[in-house]
Structure 1
Amino acid sequence: MGSYKELVIAMVRTGIFGFGGGPSVIPLIRYEAVSRYHWIEDDEFGEILAIANALPGPIATKMAAYLGYRQKGVIGAFVGVLAHIVPTCLAMVALLTLVNVLSYSTAVAGMISAVMPVIAVMLGLMAYEFAAKAVKGLGKLLGCLLFVISFVLLQTISIHPAIVIVLFLAYGTMHFKLKNKWPHKSSKQGGMSA
């Protein structure tokens, strides 16, 4: 179990370096929780991410609250959220007077343009890792089929992402139940033929 110091450092880092909103913060939170401090496993992070996406509100603060709660209970949840949002709020207040000047600066526009590909690569890498785990657990054919179905539901039909997540969570519970039954049946049949 992590300390308050680790929780504060991790959430301050994700709050300060999470440029671009919630989706860009997710790889940073994953790195802190899974790779650096080993608070949770990668599979659990994926489950938490799915649930956080289904709930209303900013995803980064929900993740910070969950990780804080997981480490230190209710007080940890408050500490995690505050550590995640307070530094950014203070920076916004401090830089508010410079916004008009900086918004027309070519240097700032160049920095923003330089950061965008990094965020895209981080999100792409995380998506690839989750997809690889899904294909490993489901198989290539079923994994690709479910990807196509989710793409159609989200992009073509425009169903709310929370509904799609709930549908796939429901399917996931049924899939593993069915998967556990299949080897059981085949072992019985193998025993009968012997």
Structure 2
Amino acid sequence: MHPYLQIMIGFARSGVLGYGGGPSVIPLIEYEAVKNYKWMNSDEFGETLALANTLPGPIATKMAAYIGYKVKGPLGAIVAVTAHILPSLIALIGILTFFYSFRSSPFISGMVQGVTPVIAVMLFMMALDFLKKGSKGLGVRWAMILAVFAFLLLQILTLHPGIVIAIFLTSAFIFATYRGRKTMKQNFEQESREKVQ
């Protein structure tokens, strides 16, 4: 199948099936990008998601643009964003026009309430997956400490997710730089000792 057609089908599918929008679409995009078409691995997807959260605008659109660009350059980004937005936009106009006339119906209310637990489970499974990935590099204890700290910043202090991600990215960069310099210094000292011997 041609890459542009893959991009079109993948993002049209995630756009149409992503009921609830925003974060609920991310597991669907992950399925298309990582498992179905293998445009990237799960670690790359996690990094892309973290960086996309620091930028303004809808997360699903940013993810579509980046993944489309990664696969087929600027035209791939345009195809991905269009494929992601257009079907749901057309459906939204048609369905909302129909549902608006039945907005007080218990059937419509039941539909919305019935799909909410499914979205909650999808997001919970994705959160667990990211926690497992984090614990591989950090260890379980540090992953849990950082997860609790992030929860406090987001829920108690109500900081914007972009600010929290920026704090964590900056801290990780500083720590990695410090650790890298320390390792280089230790290696240099060891080489010096070996030369003296």
**Cα 1:165–1:68, aligned 2, differ >3 Å: closer, same or farther?**
same
Structure-2 separation of matches of 1:96 and 1:164: 35
Verify: 1:28 aligned to 2:28, yes or no: yes
Structure 1 residue ranges (4+ consecutive) displaced by more than 3 angstroms after TM superposition: 174-189
How far residue 16 of structure 1 moved from its aligned partner, in angstroms, is 0.2
- Tell me the matched-pair count: 191
Aligned residue for 1:142? Answer: 142
| Code of the aligned partner of 1:168 | F
Letter in 2 for 1:45: F
In structure 2, what is the equivalent of residue 66 of structure 1?
66
Correspondence list, 1:139-178, <5 A: 139-178=139-178
Q: Deviations over 1:117-167 (max 9, x none)?
A: 111011000000100111121012211221122112112222221111011
Structure 2 Cα separation of the partners of residues 26 and 38 of structure 1: 15
Correspondences of 1:31-180 after superposition (within 5 Å) = 31-178=31-178
Deviations 1:28-55 (A, max 9, x none): 0011101111101111111111111111
Q: Call closer, same or farther: CA 1:110–1:96 in 2, change over 3 Å.
A: closer
Q: What is the CA deviation profile of residues 87-108 of structure 1, one whole-angstrom value per residue up to 9, with x for unaligned ones?
A: 0111122224312233222222
Asked if the contact 2:64/2:77 (under 8 Å) is kept, the reply is: yes
Equivalent position of 1:16 in the other structure: 16
The range that moved more, 78-87 or 143-152, is 143-152
Are 2:24 and 2:123, in contact at CA under 8 Å, matched by a contact in 1?
A: yes
C-alpha distance 107-166 of structure 1, shift in aligned 2 (>3 A): same
What SS does the aligned partner of 1:63 have? helix
User: Shift in Å at residue 188 of structure 1?
Assistant: 4.5
Question: How far apart, in 1, do the equivalents of 2:15 and 2:147 lie?
Answer: 31
SS, match of residue 101 in structure 2:
helix
| Counterpart AA for 1:166 | A
Distance in 2 between the 1:20 and 1:171 partners? 33
Instruction: Classify the secondary structure of the residue corresponding to 1:102.
Output: coil
Cα distance, 1:20–1:177 mapped onto 2, change above 3 Å = same
Unaligned runs of at least 5 residues, structure 1 = none
1:50 match: secondary structure: helix
TM-score between both structures, scaled by the size of structure 2: 0.87
- Residue pair 1:18, 1:28 contacting (<8 A) in 2 also: yes
Please give the per-residue CA displacement for 1:70-91, whole angstroms capped at 9, x wherever unaligned. 1111111111000000001111
For structure 2, the residue ranges without an aligned partner over 5 or more in a row are none
